[in-house]
Amino acid sequence: MDTPPYDYTAPEPVTPAQRALTTLAEDTGDTAALDVLAGSEVLVPVPQDASEEDATDPTVVALPVLEQPGGEQMVPVFTSETEMAGLLPYVERYRLVPLGALASQWPEGDLALTIDATSPYGLTLTSQGVRTLLARPYD
């Protein structure tokens, strides 16, 4: 009798940021979840056209801007490599950035932020929402 190969992949552990996103999907005003999210690090894909200097400079983060149908621009960030691969499977480089620090320096204008866009708990914030809800002091 042939035994089928053991092909079990352990699920990826749920991060605090993912738990916060799940909470916010049910209650957008949960300040504790917003605090956890703002204190979390996210993966920011490095745009393919970014120079090596920009990709490695700790004082600069090149934002990958995607244009949505209708012209809205958004920056995708992710809580894990698995989430990133779901939307952007060909990303070769990314930076790990504290979300609160990223939000503190969010550019003016109508640039939205999407966290884990393809997941059931994904969250999209307007530019004002990013600065108001997630910006935290950083060192």
Asked whether residue 3 is domain-assigned, the answer is no
| Spatial separation of the C-alpha atoms in residues 110 and 127, rounded to whole Å | 6
- What's the domain count of the chain? 1
Q: What is the pTM of this model?
A: 0.83
Q: What is the dihedral of CA 87, 93, 96, 102, to 10 degrees?
A: -80
Asked whether residue 2 is domain-assigned, the answer is no
Asked whether residue 10 is domain-assigned, the answer is no
Using one digit for the tens of pLDDT, what is the confidence trace for 77-113?
999 999 999 988 988 889 999 999 899 889 888 899 9
CATH at residue 49: 3.40.1350
| Spatial separation of the C-alpha atoms in residues 127 and 53, rounded to whole Å | 27
Asked whether residue 118 is domain-assigned, the answer is yes
Q: So what's the pLDDT on residue 139?
A: 47
Residue 106: domain span: 16-134
- What type of residue sits at position 102? L
